[in-house]
Copies of this chain bind each other. A is one copy, B any other.
Amino acid sequence: LYGATVTNTFPDDELRRGFRQLVRMGGLLEPHDHAGVHLTLSEVMAVGELLDQGAMSQQRLAELLGLEKSTVSRLAAGLERRGWVARERVATNRRFYELQLTEEGRRVAELIAADLRAHHDRLLGRLTPAERHGLAVGLAGLSRALHDHAPHAGVDRSDPGGAG
């Protein structure tokens, strides 16, 4: 990526604008209106995790989604209000909520999963095998590099030492 001819002052057009646009467009997760019901991106992610992983606490869901516990608190309340998620205090430790898909919630989650899978199939079908392979390899590496560098990993994030 770097090393090629650089015409712009800002770094790395491909990564920078590319990633931003990709996610802004929501192309990877949209559409999130499924079968007449509307869900936010985070709600789609949430029911997906509950479908795949089963019952869990709000704290655990927040970790999986990369959201604040306060956000998940409101998110879970919304899903409960719509009848897709049941929230029950854990008997042995009443600090915990146990989140679980209702029957209706499971139905919705499975519809979304099918929609999303079809969407991704179409999307990835437009890539060449080399591009699909490259994406898998490159994202894995990037994810690892970001994780090593993450704030919560204890790395100094604002070290200006290597500027230039």
- Interface, chain A (partner B; CB < 8 A): 1-2, 8-12, 14-25, 27-31, 33, 41, 45, 48-49, 51-52, 64-67, 109-110, 112-118, 120-124, 126-128, 130-146, 148-150, 157-158, 160, 162-164
Whole-angstrom distance between the alpha carbons of A140 and B66 in the complex? 26
**Judging by beta carbons under 8 Å apart, are A10 and B142 in contact?**
no
A-B contacts, 23 listed (Cβ < 8 Å): A1-B136, A2-B120, A9-B52, A12-B117, A14-B136, A14-B140, A17-B45, A18-B143, A20-B45, A20-B65, A21-B143, A22-B139, A22-B143, A118-B162, A118-B164, A123-B145, A126-B145, A127-B138, A131-B138, A132-B138, A132-B141, A133-B138, A135-B138
Q: Which residues of B contact A163 (CB under 8 A)?
A: 114-115, 117-118
Q: Is the interface of A mostly helix, strand, loop or mixed?
A: helix
Given contacts A51-B9, A116-B10, contact A134 B141 (CB under 8 A): yes
When all copies of this chain in the complex are counted, the total is: 2
Q: Which residues of B contact A1 (CB under 8 A)?
A: 124, 132, 135-136
**Judging by beta carbons under 8 Å apart, are A2 and B124 in contact?**
yes
Q: Which residues of B contact A132 (CB under 8 A)?
A: 1, 138, 141
**Judging by beta carbons under 8 Å apart, are B146 and A25 in contact?**
yes
**Judging by beta carbons under 8 Å apart, are B20 and A66 in contact?**
yes
Whole-angstrom distance between the alpha carbons of A101 and B49 in the complex? 45
A57 to chain B, nearest CB (A): 18
Q: Which residues of B contact A64 (CB under 8 A)?
A: 17
